[in-house]
Each structure stands twice: as C-alpha cells, then as structure tokens.
Structure 1
Amino acid sequence: MSHFKSFFNKLTPISPENWDKFSELFRPKVLKKGECFIRQGQIAKEIGFLESGIIRGFYRNNEAVEYNKHFFTSPCFIGGYASLITGTPNQIIQEALTDCNILVAKFADIQNLYKTCPDIERGARILAEHFFVQKEQREIEIVLLDAEKRYQIFQKDFPQLEQLIPQYHIASYLGITPTQLSRIRRKMFGK
C-alpha cells in the first residue's frame, strides 16, 4: 500500500482523511501468470493498481491475431478504462505476463468519493490526462517512426523488460515480426 500512496501523492496531495476513505476501497489480489485482469467483451467494473509484476494490454482481431498495445509495469493503474467510462464492452484484454500483486477497487465506489473528496477527483483527472498524453504519443510513434526508432523508445520506456518477457510480445508491440526485431537487434548490437 505504500507504493500506492506515494504514486497517488505524486499526482496530487491527498488529505489524510480522504486517503483513508480512498485506500479502504482497495483489496489485495494476486493475478497469476496467464490470468486476465479484464477480458474482451467484459463490462469493466473494477480498477486496479499494479504493485508488482508485468501485464500486457492487447487486442485480438477476427482472425485471432494478437496485437500488443501496452505493457503495464509497477507502479501503475490498470483496467478497462474506456469500458469503465462508457459502460460498453471492453476491447483491450489485460493479461499477466508474470505473477502480479494488485490492489483492486470498484470504480463506482471511487466515483462516489468525488463529491466529498475533491483531491481524489483531481488525482483521477490528472491520471486520465496522463493516459491521454501517453496514448497520443504512442499513436504518433506507430505512424511516424520507423521500427528501429520505436524499438529505441521501447527500451527507454521499459528498461529491463526485454529480459523478462518473450521477444514476440515486444515485436507485436512494435508492430513488426519477430524476425524483423531480430534484424534490428543484430544491426544495433552487432549480434
């Protein structure tokens, strides 16, 4: 819970009373490698805080081809955000790539605090703004940058992740094949 408190306090200061109300909404949960926090087609009701572990966010097309959209590494929030906001079925599956420790709360309970806890609402707004900027930056990278530059950004954004997850997940995230990733790595590192 200490990672959670320091993460949220970096977004905005929270009064001790409001922190108590907020933190009481969360319960610990273990997500085993291969388990999903949220599936495609599910209506999201919960939000999570990733304390440890790695989760991938991905979607699957009609031919069952998977595309990695994002990697979540601790500390960060997870959940089907678009589904939480709109009440529509979730599109992005979130699957544990390692065993994960998370804190989980009902999103409606958090929203109920907004009226009496403006610092919690402010933190949620700032978090949503961060998500928006991150999403826009990722879209720009995919469209405007070549695969080698995207790989360099991946290495900067996710240091050490390469040693922890399969290369095909990284290739999918970069929008290339594993063979193309091998070529890029050989070119960059002379391997």
Structure 2
Amino acid sequence: MDFFRNFAQNFHHLSEEAYERIFEILNMKKFPKNHELVSLGQNPTNFYILKTGIIISYHIDSKGKEHTKTIYTPVITSGNLGALIKKEPSKLIYKCLTDCEVLECNYHKFYELSLEYQEISIFHYKVLQNIYIREESKILDLQMLDATQRYEKLQEKLPGIDNLINQYHIASYLNITPVQLSRIRKNLIY
C-alpha cells in the first residue's frame, strides 16, 4: 500500500496504527474503460483514489445531453461526496474513460475510523479541504476566464489531454460546444 502512503503524506502524517486500520478497508481494483463506478440514481458507498487512468463525472439533462462536471486524473480522489455524506441517490454518473486502477474505500467505514482516530480525522478534513478548493477553483475559472483561457489552463494542468479523451468531454468540461473547442484549438495552432 505504498501508493496510499504516498497519497496520504501529501495531506497529513499518519501513524503506523492509523495506516494499518485504513489498509483494512482499502481495496486495489482495476476497472475497464466505460465502467460506471457510480450510476445515476445509485446510492454510492465508496470513494476512490485514482492511481492510473481517467474518470469523469457527468450528468444528463432532460434532452439527453451529457454535461461533464469533473475530469479526474491520477492521483486524485473521486466519488460522489454529496451523495455519500447525505446517503442519497447520485445525481451524477462516474465513468472510467480509460482502463483505471483505483483504491476503493467504503466512505462510512472510513468516516467511522475518523471518529475513532484524531489523526485520521485531520487527514479526512485536509482531503475535504483539497476537494473544496479544487471545486471552487473550477467555479471561479468558469466565471472569470474566457473559453480559450480555460482550455489553456486545462492543457497546463493535464498535458496531452486531447489525445487521451474524447473532444466532446473536454468541450463539455469547459462549458463550450465541440465546435467552439475546435475553433479554439485551430486558433492556438496558428
């Protein structure tokens, strides 16, 4: 579980006892491309730490159009946090866009450990802070940056993303149409 140790060290120092307790509820899993980790309307029980691959979260509007909320790349946490906390059906779909390897963890068992161990509670809090900051940054980008700037920022954050996932998902994530994305890419090439 060196992968988890390396992940955890980015947030908070944990004792060997805390690691051992967390390892009891972690499972390394491999999922194929197009596998849904969380389906629409499903009550999720797990969160994931992405080791390899790309996961997206999206919703489908009343006209059947997909809207990408988040693109997850290694090493990052994934899962429908709101539905996990509230114990309610997911309004988002979490899907592997590529073959993925993840650490899977039952959220409620992890939460119980955080109540038992202060250091795990601090770790949990720091991970939640990171998720909040990540989501707030995306909202601010959508409000403050134009489409070209958002695309350039995505390229900086995820070099080569154009070769890894469908352009439709990138356009949706940037809140633009595929045609707009094509124009932006054409203008940046010249």
Deviation string 1:16-64 (CA, Å, 9 cap, x unpaired) is 1110111121112211100111112111211111111110111111111
Mark the runs of 5 or more structure 1 residues left unpaired by the alignment: none
How much has 1:107 moved relative to structure 2? Answer: 1.1
State the AA in 1 paired with 2:141: E
Deviation string 1:123-180 (CA, Å, 9 cap, x unpaired) is 1111111111111111111122210011011111212222111111111111111111
Contact 1:4/1:51, CA 8 A, preserved across alignment: no
Deviation string 1:83-117 (CA, Å, 9 cap, x unpaired) is 01111211121100000111212111111112332
1:26 lines up with 2:58 in the alignment: no
The 5-angstrom pairing of residues 1-191 of structure 1 reads 1-190=1-190
Of all paired residues, the percent bearing the same amino acid is 29
State the AA in 1 paired with 2:93: I
Contact 2:47/2:104, CA 8 A, preserved across alignment: yes
Partner Cα distance (1:113, 1:168) in 2: 40
* 1:11 partner SS: coil
Mark the runs of 5 or more structure 2 residues left unpaired by the alignment: none
Contact 1:3/1:75, CA 8 A, preserved across alignment: no
Contact 2:114/2:124, CA 8 A, preserved across alignment: no
State the AA in 2 paired with 1:4: F
* 2:115 partner SS: coil
Partner Cα distance (1:156, 1:91) in 2: 29
Query: TM-score if structure 2 supplies the norm length?
Result: 0.95
* 2:165 partner SS: coil
Query: TM-score if structure 1 supplies the norm length?
Result: 0.95
Partner Cα distance (1:172, 1:116) in 2: 41
Runs of 4+ in structure 1 over 3 Å off: none
